[in-house]
């Protein structure tokens, strides 16, 4: 004969497992990353040794409306390396 406490523990464990499986299934259906990475070329090499926020201060030197304009629907311009990850 099972006690109410044991039934409650079994129910909690089953609920945890079901929620974990649902979360993993949801995350596995996420779309592939499509954002371009920060290229490892002569123009960007100096930024690989910096922290993200320090490096982002230099992005607008080249990526501005006069030199290399960003698309109109581009997200906020001050957090470049939040989306554009550094290449390994």
| 40 and 80 housed in the same domain | yes
Which domain range does residue 1 map to? 1-30
pLDDT on residue 16: 98
Q: Is the pLDDT of residue 1 over 60?
A: no
Q: Which pLDDT value is given to residue 82?
A: 86
Q: Is the pTM above the cut of 0.85?
A: no
Give the model confidence (pLDDT) of 42-86 as tens digits: 888 888 889 988 998 898 888 888 888 888 888 877 788 888 888
Residue 42 sits in the same domain as residue 82 = yes
Name all contacts of 82-85 with Cβ < 8 Å and 24+ positions apart: 82/52, 83/35, 84/35, 84/36, 84/37, 84/38, 85/35, 85/37, 85/38
Question: Tokens 């499509």 — which residue?
Answer: 34
Integer CA distances (angstroms), 14 to 7, 8, 17, 33, 55, in order = 11, 10, 5, 33, 47
Question: Is 37 found in the same domain as 26?
Answer: no
Residue 24 has pLDDT above 90, yes or no: yes
Q: Are residues 12 and 46 in the same domain?
A: no
User: Encoding tokens for residue 38?
Assistant: 């920060």
Write the CATH number for 59: 1.10.1130.20
Indicate if 76 and 62 belong to the same structural domain.
yes
- Tally the domains of the chain: 2
């Amino acid at each position: 004969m099972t006690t109410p406490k044991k039934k409650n523990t079994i129910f909690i464990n089953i609920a945890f497992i079901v929620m974990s499986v649902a979360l993993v299934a949801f995350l596995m259906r996420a779309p592939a990353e499509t954002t371009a990475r920060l290229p490892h070329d002569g123009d960007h090499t100096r930024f690989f040794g910096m922290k993200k926020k320090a490096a982002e201060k230099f992005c607008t030197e080249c990526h501005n409306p006069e030199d290399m304009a960003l698309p109109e629907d581009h997200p906020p311009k001050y957090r470049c390396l939040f989306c554009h990850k550094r290449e390994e």
